[in-house]
Chains A and B, each alone.
Chain A
Amino acid sequence: MSATLVEQLETGLDAPICLTWELTYACNLACVHCLSSSGRRDPRELTTEECQGVIDELERMQVFYVNIGGGEPTVRRDFWELVEYAVAHRVGVKFSTNGSRISAERAQWLAGCDYVDVQVSLDGATSEVNDAVRGPGSYSTAITAMENLAGAGFAGFKLSVVVTRENVSQLDEFKRLADGFGAQLRLTRLRPSGRGADVWGELHPTAAQQRELYEWLLAHGENVLTGDSFFHLGGYGAALPGLNLCGAGRVVCLIDPIGDVYACPFVIHDEFRAGNVREPGGFARVWRESALFGDLRRPQHAGACASCGLFDKCRGGCMAAKFFTGLPLDGPDPECVLGHGERLLAARGDDPIPRPSVDMSKRRPRRRPARACDENPLTVIPA
Chain B
Amino acid sequence: MACAASTDLLDRGWRVAPQVALRPEPFGALVYHFGTRRLTFLRSRLLLDVVRGLDEHATAREACDAAGVQASERPRYSRALTTLAGAGMIVPQDAS
Contacts and interface: CB of A to CB of B under 8 A. Distances in A.
Indicate if A touches B (C-beta under 8 A).
Answer: yes
A117 B30 CA distance: 21
B32 A64 contact: yes
B34 A5 contact: no
Contact of A17 (B26, B27, B39): B39
B91 to A, nearest CB: 17
Interface in B1-48: 21, 23-27, 30, 32, 34, 37, 39, 41, 43
B34 to A, nearest CB: 5
Interface in A95-117: 114-115, 117
A64 B25 contact: no
A99 B22 CA distance: 33
Given A5-B41, A5-B43, A64-B39, A17 B21 contact: no
Interface residues of A, number: 14
A64 B25 CA distance: 14
A90 B30 CA distance: 16
Contacts of A8: 27
A224 to B, nearest CB: 15
B54 to A, nearest CB: 19
Nearest to A225: B37
B25 A62 contact: no
B41 A64 contact: no
Given A5-B43, A64-B21, A90-B21, A115 B26 contact: no
Contact of A14 (B26, B34, B37): B26
B34 A115 contact: yes
10 contacts: A5-B43, A8-B27, A13-B25, A13-B30, A14-B26, A64-B21, A64-B34, A64-B39, A90-B21, A92-B37
Given A14-B25, A15-B23, 15 more contacts: A5-B43, A13-B30, A14-B24, A14-B26, A17-B32, A17-B39, A62-B23, A64-B23, A64-B32, A64-B39, A65-B37, A90-B21, A92-B37, A115-B34, A117-B37
Interface of A: 5, 8, 13-15, 17, 62, 64-65, 90, 92, 114-115, 117
